[in-house]
Structures are given as structure tokens and as C-alpha cells.
């Protein structure tokens, strides 16, 4: 397809959206804000459960919608839902409204997860510049990470903003992000994408069925795609769990709760550093890269589970940084391996695979910790599993990719 777009403008819109959507000023304080309004911990936990349930069931359908209806339309819909969610939270009178807002937020996030990556990659592909994806993705990630760090400082404004103020300001930031998305162009790289507008609504069910068949065909005929999806899901399991259980370990080791922000801050800096390293690493074999990253992630997870306080923090930083290196290259290779017409769908499958592993992994790691009376016991076991997944590839012949 000979469809050109203004790539400079497209990237400016993408980075602007990253910046303002990354200023998630409610993320660090939403539990405290709800508790201050009188909601109990089980009610807050119920709202969080609603979020994850909606995420699980909507992840792949949202990617399919992006492939069939357009990535720009899907992103705009997600942006509008995010603004709506923040407005609902600002004025929520009861638990039902809170759960509704959390569900809408989860639906919005699924609209972004695979779609944004697909739009970025295909925007580059329209200009024949797919090999620059790692650089653009690294820029995007670092802007989001820095925005997250700035947004976390908003907790200092709690006495001035109040509950509604936080969510109204967040809605304003998301509104700017959505406006940037509206200025983007839809990248067109295949004939099917060019003909989206010509399809009648009554044909959508059959199109969805065909997209499912085509996506399954890609996974069947492209073993590399399935291996990449499985590898990223497995190696990503320690990402959240190391941050989550490290806090409990530090409390067990005598750290005051006032200092628990420090590991999160250092973990964020490690992510930025990992992204910078990742963009400079030249990957000739994903098998070799996985082996190295799995060994490092496994060791880092073991440190979080068994080392003294600062050793655990360094272990968590190692996990976060190494994951950024691997996932940056995994995303490039996966996008290279899959067709544009099924891109958002298969990237959503990539995201869902991680969620499916996290469903059993989270309680199992916690249960092992409870059984041994130490929060780090489950992490030590998880670290061993990740190390073994890397060791298992050591004796195999590297595949060039």
C-alpha cells in the first residue's frame, strides 16, 4: 500500500499522549483516598477484582476491534473511557459507581495495550522504517516512566486537592492525551486496512470469526510468535511480584512504612536505565538474549526473596531493568513476525498470556510465603523457576532471528 503519513507529526502526538497519560496522579494514592472516604479494605479489594476480571475478558476482543475498526478509533474510545472513569470516580456516591468506574478503566487500558504498539509499528512501516521501532518504543517508554515519577509526587498535594480534585486533575491530563490521539493519522499498510470503512456493520460478526481464524493460523504457522509470547509471559512474572512482596519483606526486616516509597522510586530508575541499555544492545539471537535475561531475572528474584534489605532492593532493580531490555527486543521481534492485519490482536494475546500466568502465580507465591512464615520464600522459589527456564536453553543451538 502506498499510503504516506506525516511521521514527524505522528511521533509528536504519540509522545505527547505518553507524557500526559503517564501523569497517573491517582495510582499511588487511590487506595488511601477511598479509605479516607470510608470504604473498607474488602470493598477496595472488590473494586480491584472488577478491574482484573474486565481486563482478562476484554484484552483480546479489544485488540480484534482495533484490527477490524481501526487503531486510531480504538485509542480514542479508550481515551474517552479513561476521562469518563476519572469523572465517575471524582463524584462516585457508592461502591457500585466505584466498581463501574474501575471496570471502565480496565476496558480503556485493554484498548491501549495492544493497539498503541500496533499503531506505532505500522506508522513506522508506512515509511519503511520498522527497524527504528526499538528506538521509538524506548523513547515512548522513558517518557511514560518519567511522567509516572512526576505523577507520583502528586501525593504531596493530598491536603490541597482532596479526593475529587485528584480525579478531576487526572481527567484533565487524560483529556489532553486524548486530544493528542485525535490529531494522529490511521496508518494503512494493507488493502484490508484501506477497505475498513467500506464494510457494512452486518458483516462484522463474520469478520471477527475470520480474524480469529487468521490469528490462530499465524500462531500455527509462525512458531517464533508463539515462543516470543510464551517467553515474555514467563519472564515477566517476577516484575510485579518482586515489587509487591519486597514491601512486606522490608517491613519484616524492620523498615518503617514511610520509607517504602524508596524501592519503588529506585525500581523506576532501573526501568529507565534498562530501556536505555536495551536500545543500545544488538540482539542477534532471541534465545541467547532470553537465556541471559532469565538468569539475571532469576538471580534478582532470589535476592529479593532471600537477601538482606539492600540486597533485596538491588535484586528488584535488577529484575526491573533486565525485563525492560528483554521486552523491548521481544516487542520488536514479535511485530516483525506477525502480519499487520492481525497485529493488535496478537499483541493483545501477548498481554493476556502474562495475565493468565499471574492468576495462579500470585496466590502460589503468597501461599509459599505463608507456609514458611517469610514473605521471601515464595519469591526464592519463583526465582529458581526463572533461572531453570534460562538454564534449559543453555545446551541448545542458538537460533538466529
**Digit-coded pLDDT (tens) for 255-312:** 876 676 678 778 888 998 999 999 888 888 899 999 999 999 999 999 998 888 899 9
Residue 113 has pLDDT above 80, yes or no: yes
C-alpha cell at 202: 452486518
Q: Is the pTM of this model over 0.85?
A: no
**For 354, how many CA atoms within 13 A lie in the half-sphere containing its CB?**
21
Strand residues in 102-156 grouped as ranges (E):
none
Of 41-45, 74-78, 214-218, 362-366, highest mean pLDDT: 74-78
Question: What is the rounded average pLDDT of the residues 117-136?
Answer: 90
Residue 273 to residues 152, 253, 262, 319: CA-CA distances in angstroms? 19, 28, 17, 12
Q: What is the rounded distance in angstroms from the CA atom of residue 299 to the CA atom of residue 305?
A: 10
pLDDT computed for residue 206 by the predictor: 80
pLDDT above 90 for 208: no
Rounded Cα gap, residues 370 and 271, in angstroms = 29
**Residue found under cell 514458611:** 372
Say how far apart CA 85 and CA 70 lie, in whole Å: 23
Residue 311 C-alpha cell reads as 540486597
Q: Are 124 and 134 in contact (CB under 8 A)?
A: no
pLDDT at 2: 52
Cβ contact 330:342 at 8 Å? no
Is the pLDDT at 242 greater than 50? The verdict is yes
The pLDDT confidence band at residue 41, using thresholds 50, 70 and 90, is: low
> What is the grid cell recorded at 345?
490482536
Q: How confident is the model at residue 268, as a pLDDT?
A: 83
Kindly state the cell numbers that stand for 340.
499487520
Rg of the chain, C-alpha, whole Å? 21
Segment 8-25 mean pLDDT: 91
Least confident of 99-113, 311-325, 347-361: 347-361
Q: Is the pLDDT of residue 251 over 90?
A: no
Percent of the chain with pLDDT over 90: 36
Question: Which cell numbers hold the place of 76?
Answer: 480514542
Cβ partners under 8 Å of residue 259, min gap 6: 250
Contact in structure between 297 and 235 (CB atoms under 8 Å): yes
Q: What is the pLDDT of residue 395?
A: 64
The model's confidence at residue 401, banded by pLDDT at 50, 70 and 90, is: very low
Within 10 angstroms of residue 93's Cβ, the number of other Cβ atoms is: 7
Q: What are residue 13's phi and psi, to 5 degrees?
A: -65, -40
Residue 70 backbone zone (phi > 0: left; psi -120 to 50: alpha; other: beta): left
Mean pLDDT of 83-98: 90
Q: Answer for the pair 113, 327: CB distance below 8 angstroms, yes or no.
A: no
Amino acid at each position: 500500500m502506498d499510503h504516506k503519513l506525516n511521521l514527524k507529526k505522528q511521533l509528536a502526538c504519540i509522545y505527547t499522549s505518553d507524557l500526559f497519560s503517564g501523569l497517573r496522579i491517582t495510582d499511588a494514592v487511590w487506595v488511601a483516598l477511598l479509605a479516607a472516604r470510608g470504604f473498607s479494605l474488602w470493598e477496595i479489594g472488590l473494586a480491584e477484582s472488577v478491574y482484573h476480571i474486565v481486563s482478562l475478558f476484554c484484552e483480546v476482543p479489544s485488540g480484534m476491534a482495533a484490527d477490524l475498526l481501526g487503531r486510531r478509533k480504538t485509542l480514542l474510545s479508550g481515551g474517552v473511557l479513561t476521562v469518563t472513569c476519572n469523572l465517575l470516580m471524582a463524584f462516585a456516591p457508592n461502591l457500585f459507581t466505584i466498581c463501574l468506574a474501575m471496570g471502565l478503566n480496565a476496558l480503556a487500558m485493554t484498548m491501549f495495550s495492544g493497539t498503541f504498539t500496533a499503531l506505532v509499528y505500522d506508522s513506522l512501516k508506512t515509511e519503511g522504517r520498522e527497524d527504528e521501532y526499538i528506538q521509538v518504543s524506548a523513547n515512548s517508554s522513558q517518557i511514560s516512566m518519567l511522567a509516572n515519577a512526576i505523577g507520583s509526587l502528586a501525593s504531596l498535594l493530598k491536603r490541597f486537592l482532596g479526593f475529587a480534585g485528584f480525579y478531576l486533575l487526572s481527567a484533565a491530563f487524560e483529556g489532553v492525551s486524548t486530544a493528542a490521539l485525535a490529531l494522529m493519522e490511521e496508518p494503512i499498510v494493507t488493502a484490508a486496512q484501506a477497505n475498513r470503512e467500506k464494510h457494512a456493520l452486518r458483516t462484522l460478526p463474520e469478520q471477527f470469526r475470520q480474524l480469529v481464524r487468521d490469528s490462530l493460523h499465524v500462531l500455527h504457522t509462525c512458531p517464533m510468535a508463539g515462543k516470543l509470547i510464551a517467553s515474555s509471559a514467563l519472564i515477566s512474572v517476577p516484575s510485579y511480584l518482586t515489587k509487591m512482596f519486597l514491601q512486606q519483606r522490608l517491613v519484616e526486616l524492620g523498615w518503617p512504612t514511610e520509607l517504602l516509597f524508596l524501592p519503588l522510586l529506585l525500581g523506576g530508575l532501573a526501568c529507565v536505565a534498562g530501556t536505555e541499555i536495551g536500545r543500545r544492545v544488538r540482539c542477534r539471537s532471541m534465545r541467547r538474549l532470553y537465556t541471559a535475561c532469565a538468569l539475571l531475572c532469576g538471580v534478582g528474584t532470589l535476592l529479593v526473596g532471600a537477601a538482606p534489605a539492600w540486597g533485596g532492593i538491588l535484586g528488584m532493580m535488577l529484575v526491573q531493568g533486565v525485563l525492560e531490555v528483554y521486552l523491548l527486543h521481544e516487542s520488536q521481534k514479535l511485530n516483525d513476525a506477525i502480519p499487520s492485519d492481525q497485529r493488535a490482536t496478537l499483541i493483545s494475546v501477548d498481554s493476556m498470556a502474562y495475565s493468565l500466568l499471574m492468576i495462579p502465580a500470585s496466590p502460589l507465591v503468597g501461599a509459599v510465603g505463608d507456609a514458611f512464615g517469610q514473605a521471601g520464600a515464595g519469591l526464592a522459589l519463583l526465582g529458581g523457576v526463572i533461572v531453570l527456564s534460562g538454564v534449559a536453553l543453555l545446551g541448545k543451538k542458538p537460533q538466529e532471528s
